[in-house]
């Protein structure tokens, strides 16, 4: 069910939610968090679809903030989605305009679930300092996605300069499986140090930078990135050792081949991760990612030199 509420207030929307629950029997019990999405109008539906999918694992209230286009007067239009249009959640879409759009924190406050953590998500362009943003300052976890920014790698460097515990970027989440496979390969004999690392992938994809930074930082060895504008994401990682290289190669974006000295090659399903998978992973932990913090603050500088 979708209910449009033009020219309203955040307080009136909160009252309407209570009325909907009383009339329809829907309740907010079991909601584990409030997910606040700051999205551009053109990206609202994709973000809501991903959040709805994630809500089946993490029941939540979803509040979407998108500045109304083509209107300069002060005002607020709202939309409430429940039932089949909201997954395992309640979705409230707020479209403020004029001076109302400058006070996003006061718009969101009446709609927050009591005693539940707040997660802020920017699926497109990101603020310079997420933790200082009006919504970001309220949130326990702040999720960004530099891959969707106009300048992904520059946005990643901005996040490094303004990082606070609780910040996380989905470009990092997208390399979780790569990190697991490479760590498992290194956990097998022969237990030799890695002398050099090569990471290949898309020229502007921030996941290439983060995976290279992680490997260079924790293996304490030189790292080189080879960039290809036509690549879909990360395509290949080579870990150079004295007795032979470990190679994880994904040329087609779906299946990877793991090659190690003295072992047969293994074909591994490694599709590019979907947005809903990455969002669900981050909503699952809801605590600061210390490894990401180390990679962002210390490891990324080694990749900068190669950029």
Question: Are residues 194 and 72 located together in one domain of the fold?
Answer: no
144 and 38 in one domain?
Answer: yes
- For residues 203 and 249, state if they share a domain: yes
Confidence at 23, pLDDT banded by 50, 70, 90: confident
Q: Give yes or no: residues 140 and 73 share one domain.
A: yes
- For the residues 235-242, what does the mean pLDDT come to? 97
- Judge if pTM exceeds 0.85: yes
Question: Residue 304: which pLDDT band, with cuts at 50, 70 and 90?
Answer: low
Q: Do residue 136 and residue 203 come from a single domain?
A: no
pLDDT at 245 over 80: yes
In sequence order, what are the beta bridge partners of 239? 197, 246
- Span 170-180, average pLDDT: 97
End-to-end CA distance of the chain: 49
Instruction: Find the range with the poorest average confidence among 120-124, 169-173, 200-204, 255-259.
Output: 200-204
What's the whole-number mean pLDDT along residues 191-212? 94
Both 207 and 278 in a single domain?
yes
Say which range, 16-30, 144-158, 260-274, has the weakest mean pLDDT: 16-30
Helix, strand, or coil (residue 88): coil
214 and 273 in one domain?
A: yes
Residue in the block written with tokens 């997208």: 174
Picking from 121, 143, 169, the residue at the C-terminal end of a domain is: 169
Predicted local confidence at residue 164, as pLDDT: 96
């Amino acid at each position: 069910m979708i209910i449009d509420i033009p020219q309203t207030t955040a307080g009136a929307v909160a009252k309407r939610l209570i009325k909907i629950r009383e009339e329809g029997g829907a309740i907010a019990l079991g909601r584990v968090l409030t997910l606040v999405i700051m999205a551009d109008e053109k990206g609202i539906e994709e973000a809501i679809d991903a959040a709805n999918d994630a809500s089946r694992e993490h029941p939540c209230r979803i509040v979407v903030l998108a500045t109304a286009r083509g209107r300069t007067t002060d005002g607020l239009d709202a939309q409430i989605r429940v039932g089949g249009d909201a997954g395992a959640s309640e979705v409230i879409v707020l479209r403020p305009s004029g001076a109302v759009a400058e006070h996003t924190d006061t718009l969101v406050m009446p709609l927050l679930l009591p005693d539940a953590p707040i997660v802020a998500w920017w699926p497109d362009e990101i603020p310079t300092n997420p933790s200082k943003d009006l919504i970001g300052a309220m949130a326990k976890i702040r999720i960004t996605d530099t891959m969707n920014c106009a300048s992904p790698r520059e946005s990643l460097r901005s996040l490094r300069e303004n990082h606070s515990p609780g910040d996380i970027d989905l470009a990092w989440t997208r390399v979780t499986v790569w990190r697991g496979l490479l760590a498992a390969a290194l956990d097998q004999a022969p237990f030799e140090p890695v002398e050099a690392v090569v990471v290949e992938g898309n020229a502007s994809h921030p996941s290439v930078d983060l995976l290279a930074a992680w490997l260079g930082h924790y293996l304490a060895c030189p790292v080189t990135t080879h960039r290809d504008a036509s690549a879909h994401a990360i395509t290949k990682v080579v870990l150079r050792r004295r007795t032979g290289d470990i190679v994880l190669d994904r040329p087609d974006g779906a299946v990877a081949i793991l090659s190690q000295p003295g072992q047969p090659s293994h074909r591994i399903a490694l599709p590019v991760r979907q947005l809903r998978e990455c969002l669900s992973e981050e909503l699952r932990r809801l605590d600061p990612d210390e490894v990401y913090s180390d990679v962002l603050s210390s490891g990324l500088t080694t990749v900068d030199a190669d950029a």
